[in-house]
Amino acid sequence: MEPVIEFLRCHNRTDRDRLFAAVFNLWRECFCDDKEYIWEFCQDMPLYGGMLALHGEKTVGMALLLQPDEGTAAYYGYGVCTHPAYRGKGICRKLHEEIRILCRQENAGYFVRPAARDLIELYRKLSLEPLLWEDVQIVTTGEVYSHRLLSPGEYAKVRSKYYPAGCLWSTEAIQFMCRHGYTAVGFSLEGSTCAAFLLEQERIVCELCAPEHLLERAAVCAASALGGQGVVRLSGGAERKDVAVMGWGVPQDFYFNLYLE
């Protein structure tokens, strides 16, 4: 029996509970996250729904669709996976065929971040195109900059100034992220605050929010918070070296920032 593709739309908490029950075992099998993390993710993140591959009552493939900005029809594919016993059977392709149909019906865009380099060609075969590329540089500084912790609400407000529609995150989503290893930190440059997410107790910075002309200074500020050095992923257009985000129906310049990893 071939797996059946089904879309579970998350209108309310009951739908989120159903999605959690449907994806829990597959999520644990593929990503090894604990039950608390999966439960809180399904409850607190801006889930539009989940595209599921069902073999009988068993979920054997999934692609969760996050909608960072409720006012914009652009969905971020998260947790895209297939059960190891069902790989090589075209399930990922079938999931994305249905996602494409959904996006056409809703005139929506879709984007996903390949979790590994070998997935880039797979997504190309599914007609996803590179939207964002990255280059890697090292930032070193002997300067010391003052910084302060930001609440999730403060971070969301600062972030909304520099990220376009489709890439915004709610306060609830940032609260979830801060409960699971992230800390929001703010810097003041030219009288305004630019914020950075710090991963794993301030060892790794994963995003910066600042005016474009201050991004390099913000990277130096973040590097100073890391003890003077950070690895910077410079994100931008197709002249970059490594694919960072792939998708369709989203403007190529929808996302531009510096990252520290």
- Residue range 104-157, pLDDT digits in tens: 999 999 999 888 888 889 999 999 988 877 777 788 888 888 889 999 999 999
Give the pLDDT of residue 257. Answer: 59
Range in 26-30, 121-125, 207-211 with the lowest mean pLDDT:
207-211
Paired residues of 234 in beta bridges = 135, 258
Give the pLDDT of residue 238. Answer: 46
What's the whole-number mean pLDDT along residues 161-180? Answer: 83
State both tokens at 81: 């996976």
CATH 3.40.630.30 domain span(s) along the chain: 4-112
Give the pLDDT of residue 52. Answer: 98
Q: pTM for the full model?
A: 0.87
Class of domain 4-112: alpha beta
State both tokens at 240: 């970059």
d(CA 192, CA 119): 39
Assigned CATH for 135-260: 3.40.630
Q: Where are the alpha helices (DSSP H) in the chain?
A: 13-31, 35-44, 91-106, 119-125, 152-162, 171-179, 215-225
pLDDT, the chain, mean:
86
Give the pLDDT of residue 236. Answer: 60
Scanning the structure block, which residue is given the tokens 């991963």? Answer: 199
Q: Is the pLDDT of residue 78 over 90?
A: yes
CA distances from 188 to 38, 113, 148, 157, 191 (A): 35, 30, 9, 15, 6
Picking from 134, 126, 128, 96, the residue whose alpha carbon sits closest to that of residue 237 is 134
Of 99 and 192, which is predicted with more confidence? 99
Range in 1-15, 90-104, 217-231, 237-251 with the lowest mean pLDDT:
237-251
